[in-house]
Amino acid sequence: MGAAEAVTDKCDGFIVPPREQPFREAVELLMNDPALRRRVKAEAARRNSPRFSQQHSVDALLNLYAQVAAAK
């Protein structure tokens, strides 16, 4: 999974090209807009907490082990 799959642009983060100016503009936008910063932070936590929880990681690992065991 890359950034484009993990982030919805301008919803729970910003996807910017790998150049200094667009990155700087996104950071300045967040620095200068506290409401936007809070909204992006809240949406990122809501959207990504389940995918990166300890339980999700354990479940994914156990599923992988089961797949490997079944393939033998």
8-37 pLDDT per residue, tens: 888 888 888 888 899 999 999 999 999 999
* 9 beta partners: 13
Give me the pLDDT at residue 24, please: 94
CA distance 19 to 25: 11
Kindly list the domain boundaries of the chain, sorted by start residue.
3-71
CA distance 30 to 42: 13
Give me the pLDDT at residue 20, please: 86
The conformational region for residue 13 under phi > 0 = left, psi -120 to 50 = alpha, else beta, is: left
Q: Residue 7 corresponds to which amino acid?
A: V
